[in-house]
Amino acid sequence: MNAFDFLTVKKKIKPGEGLTMMLDKGLGLVSVIDLLELSSDYVDLAKFGWGTSAIHERELIKEKTDIYQSYDVIPYPGGTLLEVAYLQNKIDEFLEEAQILGFGAIEISDGTVDITPDDRENLIWKVKEEGFMVITEVGKKDPIKDSQYTTEDRVNLINHDINAGADHVLIEAREGGKGIGIYDQNGKVKENDLNILIENIDINKIIWEAPQKDQQAYLILKLGANVNLGNIPPEEVTALETMRQGLRGDTLGKVNI
């Protein structure tokens, strides 16, 4: 039983709702255990950011993935690492290593490189065939290149990936959440763009990268307590859950759980 249990209402969620993807930029083993002992109920996915998992010892990465899996959290390597494998024509080796290391999902992105729609679809199929959860990402990491996408372009890419079999689609925002995707240069949500997206996609399949507190609060108030959110810093996991449950001033009395 949680402390102050009489003041809270247990959230009602369906499978695939209310996902929280945490961004692990190089946490140590003890830090991971400490975090999950306290907050594993509020983390679903742990992304080993960009190529961070490639600069640490294999046994250390394997131990970390084992810890995440033991707490029912799905670990996965960042999409940038797949982009490196794609450029080097080493996708098969990449997937084999990911299996050995204990990753449970693969992110397919083209945030830095260009991947054709056919190659993207083939990658989704290949990754699913290997037994991984498939998470694709829509958006570019360079704000100038990302701004060249129209909202209609994003809708088409999202629906393409879902139709091709992606389990979830990430909306790119990077770890800063400014000038990318649905956020303007100040990190504010571009409401018109968001409205067009949610009218034309299956939002239950979407994970909105929302590294900033105000972005998280906005999306919770707009789309509900069970909105899927990503790129959450480890130290903000508990704070995010309090917003989901209406236990923080930003959402107190404003969110239906």
CATH number of the CATH domain containing 207: 3.20.20.70
- Between the CA of residue 47 and those of 29, 133, 170, 175, what are the distances in Å? 15, 13, 12, 12
5 inside domain: no
Q: What are phi and psi of 47, to 5 degrees?
A: -90, 125
Number of domains in the chain: 1
Residue 171 lies in a domain: yes
Torsion (CA) 104, 109, 168, 173 in degrees, nearest 10: 110
User: One digit per residue, pLDDT tens: the chain, 257 residues?
Assistant: 889 989 888 777 777 789 999 999 999 999 999 999 999 999 999 999 999 999 999 999 999 999 999 999 999 999 999 999 999 999 999 999 999 999 999 999 999 999 998 999 999 999 999 999 999 999 999 999 999 999 999 999 999 999 999 999 999 999 899 999 999 999 999 999 999 999 999 999 999 999 999 999 999 999 999 999 999 999 999 999 999 999 999 999 998 87
Q: Is 1 part of any domain?
A: no
pLDDT of 49:
94
Give domain status of residue 2, yes or no: no
Q: Burial code of 78-112, b = ≥16 C-beta within 10 A, e = fewer?
A: bbbbbbbbbeeeebeebbebbeebbbbbbbbbbbe
Residue 52 lies in a domain: yes
Residues in the chain: 257
Q: What is the pTM of this model?
A: 0.95
Asked if residue 45 is part of any domain, the answer here is yes
Instruction: Return the pLDDT at 249.
Output: 94
Strands (E), the chain: 20-24, 45-48, 74-77, 105-108, 133-138, 168-171, 206-209, 229-232
- Domain annotation covers residue 4: no
- Which residues contact residue 224 at a Cβ distance below 8 angstroms, ignoring those fewer than 6 apart? 255, 256
- 52: which 2 tokens? 């961070």
Host domain of residue 146: 14-244
Cβ burial of 187 (10 Å; 0-12, 13-18, 19+) is: middle
- Residue 17: what pLDDT? 84
Q: Which pLDDT score is estimated for 9?
A: 80
Residue 111 lies in a domain: yes
